[in-house]
Structure 1
Amino acid sequence: MFSKKKNTSKMDAEQRELYENARKRTLQKKRLFQHFIVFLSVSILAIVLNVVIGFKEELLILGYNWFVWIVLIWGFIFLIHFFNVFLVNTFMGKEWQAKQIEKLVAKQKEKIAKLQQQVEEDHPLPEKNVNQKIGDNTTNERFKPIAPDNPNQTHNH
Structure 2
Amino acid sequence: MEKDFTETVRYFDAQKKVKEIRGFYEHLTVYALCNPIVIVVNYMTSPEYLWWIWSVMGWGIAIVLHGLKVFSLPPFFNKKWEEKKIREILEKENQQRLENSHGNRFK
Candidates 54, 61, 67, aligned match of 2:52: 67
Q: Distance in 2 between matches of 1:82 and 1:44?
A: 21
Q: Distance in 2 between matches of 1:15 and 1:68?
A: 47
- Runs of 5+ consecutive residues of structure 2 not aligned to the other structure: 99-107
Q: TM-score, normalised by structure 1?
A: 0.48
Distance 1:103 1:42, change over 3 A: closer
Q: Secondary structure at the match of 1:30?
A: helix
Corresponding position of 1:82: 67
Deviation of the 1:105 alpha carbon:
7.5
Candidates 21, 25, 31, aligned match of 1:29: 21
Count of residue correspondences: 98
Return the letter of the residue paired with 1:66. W
Q: TM-score, normalised by structure 2?
A: 0.67
Contact 1:36 1:78 (8 Å CA) reproduced = yes
RMSD: 3.2
Deviation of the 1:82 alpha carbon:
1.0
Q: Distance in 1 between matches of 2:47 and 2:82?
A: 51
Deviations 1:84-110 (A, max 9, x none): 11214xx834x876687679889x6xx
Q: Distance in 1 between matches of 2:37 and 2:70?
A: 26
Contact 1:59 1:66 (8 Å CA) reproduced = no
Corresponding position of 2:11: 19
Distance 1:105 1:74, change over 3 A: closer
Q: Within 5 Å, which residues of 2 pair with 1:58-137? A: 58=47, 60=49, 65-86=50-71, 87-88=73-74, 92-93=78-79
- Runs of 5+ consecutive residues of structure 1 not aligned to the other structure: 1-8, 113-157
State percent identity of aligned pairs: 24
Larger RCO: 1 or 2 (CA < 8 Å, sep 6+): 2
Deviations 1:35-88 (A, max 9, x none): 0000011112122333xxx4222462xxxx111111011101111111111214
Q: Distance in 1 between matches of 2:5 and 2:81?
A: 20
Task: Indicate the larger mover: 67-76 or 31-40.
Answer: 67-76
Corresponding position of 1:10: 2
- Greater Rg over alpha carbons, structure: 1
Contact 1:47 1:67 (8 Å CA) reproduced = yes
